[in-house]
Amino acid sequence: MKRTILALGIVMLAFYAITVLLTSTSVRSTNSPNREAGQVMDLSVPRVPQEFLAAAKGLKNPVQPTLENLARGKKIFTSTGACYTCHGLEGKGDGPAGIGLVPPPRNFADPQFHGLRTDGELYWVVTHGSPGSSMFAYAPQIISEEDAWYAVTYVQTLSGNPSQARQ
């Protein structure tokens, strides 16, 4: 048990160190006050490749936005899944590890974003990564595929309107 905890700690420390090294540039975006405009990817452009887009949009979120489910999703977003390191605690794309990424992490607090993307698209990105960005597949490598749905459900609340993208 101690070896497992130690190994997990070492892996997380290595992940953090690599993230810091990869984000040490001064590239900026409008998701954060200390980034320059022009680096933000157009919200109307999905991060799911065109050949997978219809299938991703067809995925239905099995997790309902109950208080219990949202609390579980928030825990995944802010700890287990480490989403906050790039997307920030409020999901604005301003996390410490996301500062130098091009394109920058999505701003989940932007209601316009949620009006354009479905739960299935968000889930696809969590499970496959986002080509052309630094977002890699988190499920099932870091979190389970089930937990990915909980995180997606929580992310939908960051715009202030959790039912907006429930498609």
pLDDT of residue 159: 87
Which amino acid, one-letter code, is at 27?
A: V
pLDDT of residue 139: 93
Q: Does 144 map to a domain?
A: yes
Residue 122 has pLDDT above 90, yes or no: yes
Can you give the residue range of the structural domain that contains 35? 2-159
Structure confidence by residue, pLDDT tens digits, 32-85: 433 444 456 788 889 999 999 999 999 999 999 999 999 999 999 999 999 999
Q: Does 164 map to a domain?
A: no
Residues 6+ apart with CB under 8 A from 101: 22, 23, 27, 86, 133, 134
Give the chain's domain count. 1
Report the share of the chain in percent with pLDDT over 70: 72
What DSSP string runs through 100-153? T-SSPPP-TT-HHHHHH--HHHHHHHHHH--TTSS----TTTTS-HHHHHHHHH
Describe the crossing of helices 119-128 and 145-155 by its angle, rounded to 10 degrees. Answer: 130
* Residue 8 pLDDT level (bands cut at 50, 70, 90): low
**Residue 121, domain CATH:** 1.10.760.10
Peptide bond into 140 cis (omega under 30): yes
pLDDT of residue 40: 63
Q: Does 165 map to a domain?
A: no
Q: Does 64 map to a domain?
A: yes
Q: Does 125 map to a domain?
A: yes
pTM over 0.95: no
Q: Does 96 map to a domain?
A: yes
Q: Does 97 map to a domain?
A: yes
